[in-house]
A and B are shown apart, each in its own frame.
Chain A
């Protein structure tokens, strides 16, 4: 990996939020009122910086890692500080920097007037932002692992310190699940290094790709990595921590947790498991595809039966992560592109839904029970409208970006895993059920007396949800900018796995031109 000269974009993106968090903690007691504006300002500055970086990104070579930096860090272990993003990494970094200002804005009144306490929360959000950007741009397996584990700590405090009734239980469960997976991965990380080329750059992904491992070793290391990622993602059957965490975390924390952090799991599968362990990936793919399909259906079924809106959203995510994993392990460039795009869209749509859930709960004294709501459509029409649009994006309505990604996953998987794709389609139908039933129960029907005086969406709340819907609409009708970023990385991944790409049999069915051309270009490769 060659370090490119020029402005260290990624390091700047990582350092800026950390400085912001430091500033928040260093605020003297008298000026704590400034905590909220400072946090918002810093997160917006990071957003602008991220956008500026994205404009510099060369889309033509989206498959290579750009803005690369390489500094030796712990030569004794072969560890480097190596960052760089390809199209997928860039999209995930963008997702992080878009969601953080929204979360900061959503948390504005979360601790009432206790700004001193909110300050800690906002500082943790900024620390987490730095970790998220770093983990999506890490090009060194050790660095990735380190951030993967270290980012648990701010989330742990965000859930345990600021969450709901069962927050302690949820925080500990979250941490222990993740640590258990992470420590198993540690054994894999060590084994990978010992079996790899070694030396001062022994952990660089680029040096580890293509290293020939003995069959059983490769499989074991793959499993160690995959377990950690599956817990993180989360996949059936290691998903049980997520509903508890989501139910008890503040809405903003759930947004970052499910919207971004869990993507580290699928991102890891895509950018570490497949390139580093191609043979083992192919070996394990059938089992993983089955698990993914189970996740799709099982998550959706459980979502339908939930009483708590946050738990419901958590289970929808289990279902959606099933789609993402299915797309990744179907090994076709269309499905992998779809999965990468899905990761981005899911962050926006589910993030929006969590925030709306939080807003609903605030209007009913913190209750998250769906049964406690009813008839809100008449009292809070704007809120209801926002909920409906975001809900429709979760069920992948055409015209919203989520549709494109879900469709690409299904079309791409069909070529290789036809039965799986067919069963997964049930998930699409079930999605309509859990979203629409929820909308019906909470927003239609007679107005409940205690909700008669509920305020409609405030200006701040509209600013929280508005941008999310805008991005989803724009990318829903014109997904080309995002898909351009993802096409090359998907092609390279397929190459690294060493399978023949499958072409969807029905070209014309692919939506919105972009997917179509990609399918055509893959056809040319063969």
Chain B
């Protein structure tokens, strides 16, 4: 009989994740025990407090991690090093902003979610639920679980924890994607697609993990990294496993050719969830990619370089080119997010510390603008003949002349678009500069040349929206029926913070750059 020795666990190191996941569990209990009319308030307060608390915990942990370089918990299954902690901070900040948008209600008292997700679209029961004013408050714990998974994902030190985190973050997202209040069939279709493709990707990931275990005899990233230089004659296991693992991760990153889900899901999901997904999932998945690339792959970089270069170039080019022909603003932002994944990949394949810090900065810069941009989209609505406010006006033609009627909102949206386009003095430019510099220093100059050309082409479709908003008269176009809905103000806070961060990270990026530079060291 063997004796089991419980490992000593530094619980404090887990605080950011525990707070978020704990609040998620409490949120489930709230659904069961709190009367319905109070649930929304309780859930919103609980969720926002939890994310803010988690952010505080991240901040408190920073000093220790900065000094020691990081800690390995659970015998190396969970690694809290600089990049992991910074990524947790980025995820939780973006989740906090996204939650503000998620929690907001418009002037007619509607949030973005179906009153009763179980009701068949168009059925009497759905009508009844709507009339009764039901609210699907399970959204909040689901977001918290997803956030918790996203925070564990980049800190995972072995493939199993990584897989569990992947599932913890994915499953709530599949559900959330299907909860849109309007265009419910589209939303449910999106959720279905996301789930099926996501399940495939997870299967790839798991199979890759199995092959790598067969190769190295361990699921720990550090052991696999060590085995790449010592074990001979099992290349098919190694490269087969790595390829499958990367498929699973690149699916979440949204890189070509694993991007097919992105436009449909971004378009169909409730807009606040799209913002959450676009910003946070990308940050988390790129974080994992960074860890795999910098811990496991350095010894194999010459072998993998052609593959990763091809993926990066394809991602930039396909994302940009297809975005040019989009007519739906959410689809356009989806393809733009694919293109951004490509720009981020140029930093990943730089394989130097500048690459790590550049990618971390890019994720934050891209994230704040993304949450803000989708926040704006959630406020721009179409109206019917009677002037009643309907769903979101997502067709581009409906944005014509918006700048004349709502100059501030259109101006902020233009700022986000300019940041996506990488115009100087915005966060997007600083981010692009950071990853491109890293890539040139890392010998990936061809990628940078493709990157700048793609940026120039991408500017076209961002600018087109600005032209529509500011230089086009709405008279006689679909833009006449577009209005900006008033809300409780939470979205406005998120948009305002996003805009302020976009300008600050563009003009005075030094504090954040210093932080990510100090954090740019993985421990195996």
Residues of chain A lying within 8 A (CB to CB) of residue B471: 160-161, 167-168, 171
- The proximity string for B residues 36-79 relative to A, scoring 1 for CB distances below 8 Å and 0 otherwise, is 00000000000000000000000000000000000000000000
CB of A71, distance to nearest CB on chain B (Å): 11
Does residue B305 face the partner (Cβ distance < 8 Å to A)? no
Does residue A90 face the partner (Cβ distance < 8 Å to B)? no
Does residue A54 face the partner (Cβ distance < 8 Å to B)? no
Does residue A180 face the partner (Cβ distance < 8 Å to B)? yes
CB of A111, distance to nearest CB on chain B (Å): 14
Contact A76 B513 (CB under 8 A): yes
Contact A74 B509 (CB under 8 A): yes
Q: What residue of chain A has the Cβ atom nearest to residue B467's Cβ?
A: A168
- The proximity string for B residues 456-482 relative to A, scoring 1 for CB distances below 8 Å and 0 otherwise, is 100110011001001110000000000
Does residue A382 face the partner (Cβ distance < 8 Å to B)? no
Residues of chain B lying within 8 A (CB to CB) of residue A75: 510
Task: Give the residue among A153, A160, A194 with the most B Cβ atoms within 10 A.
Answer: A194
CB of A103, distance to nearest CB on chain B (Å): 21
Residues of chain A lying within 8 A (CB to CB) of residue B452: 183-184, 186-187
Residues facing A in B351-368 (CB within 8 A) are 357
Q: A160-B470, A161-B471, A187-B449 are in contact. Are A176 and B463 (CB under 8 A)?
A: yes
- The proximity string for A residues 148-176 relative to B, scoring 1 for CB distances below 8 Å and 0 otherwise, is 01101100110011000001100110011
Residues of chain B lying within 8 A (CB to CB) of residue A190: 433, 436-437, 440, 448
Residues facing A in B402-420 (CB within 8 A) are 418
Contact B440 A179 (CB under 8 A): no
Other-chain residue from A77, A145, A175, A183 in contact with B453 (beta carbon distance below 8 A): A183
Does residue B423 face the partner (Cβ distance < 8 Å to A)? yes
Residues of chain B lying within 8 A (CB to CB) of residue A76: 357, 509-510, 513-514, 517
Other-chain residue from B357, B424, B448, B460 in contact with A187 (beta carbon distance below 8 A): B448
CB of A14, distance to nearest CB on chain B (Å): 13
Contact A194 B463 (CB under 8 A): no
Q: How far is the CA of A186 from the CA of B434 in the complex (A)?
A: 12
CB of B466, distance to nearest CB on chain A (Å): 8
Q: How far is the CA of A193 from the CA of B459 in the complex (A)?
A: 25
Q: How far is the CA of A209 from the CA of B86 in the complex (A)?
A: 38
Q: How far is the CA of A147 from the CA of B429 in the complex (A)?
A: 12
Residues of chain A lying within 8 A (CB to CB) of residue B430: 74
CB of A223, distance to nearest CB on chain B (Å): 12
Residues facing B in A171-210 (CB within 8 A) are 171-172, 175-176, 179-180, 183-184, 186-187, 190-191, 193-194
Residues facing A in B221-242 (CB within 8 A) are none
Residues of chain A lying within 8 A (CB to CB) of residue B418: 153
Residues of chain B lying within 8 A (CB to CB) of residue A184: 452-453, 456
Residues of chain B lying within 8 A (CB to CB) of residue A73: 510
Does residue B455 face the partner (Cβ distance < 8 Å to A)? yes
Contact A176 B467 (CB under 8 A): no
Contact A191 B440 (CB under 8 A): yes
CB of A333, distance to nearest CB on chain B (Å): 34
CB of B398, distance to nearest CB on chain A (Å): 18
Contact B437 A176 (CB under 8 A): no
Other-chain residue from B440, B449, B456, B513 in contact with A74 (beta carbon distance below 8 A): B513
CB of B462, distance to nearest CB on chain A (Å): 10
User: Which 3 pairs show the lowest CB-CB distances between chains A and B?
Assistant: A146-B424, A183-B452, A76-B513
- Sample (29) of A-B pairs whose CB atoms are under 8 Å apart: A74-B430, A76-B510, A76-B513, A77-B433, A145-B424, A147-B424, A150-B424, A150-B425, A153-B418, A161-B470, A172-B467, A175-B459, A176-B459, A179-B456, A180-B456, A183-B422, A183-B452, A183-B455, A184-B452, A186-B436, A186-B452, A187-B436, A187-B448, A190-B433, A190-B436, A190-B448, A191-B445, A194-B440, A194-B441
Could you list 8 further interchain pairs (A-B, Cβ under 8 angstroms) beyond the known A150-B425, A183-B453, A183-B456?
A76-B357, A153-B423, A156-B463, A172-B460, A176-B463, A183-B455, A186-B433, A190-B436
What residues of chain A have their CB less than 8 Å away from a CB belonging to chain B? 73-77, 145-147, 149-150, 152-153, 156-157, 160-161, 167-168, 171-172, 175-176, 179-180, 183-184, 186-187, 190-191, 193-194
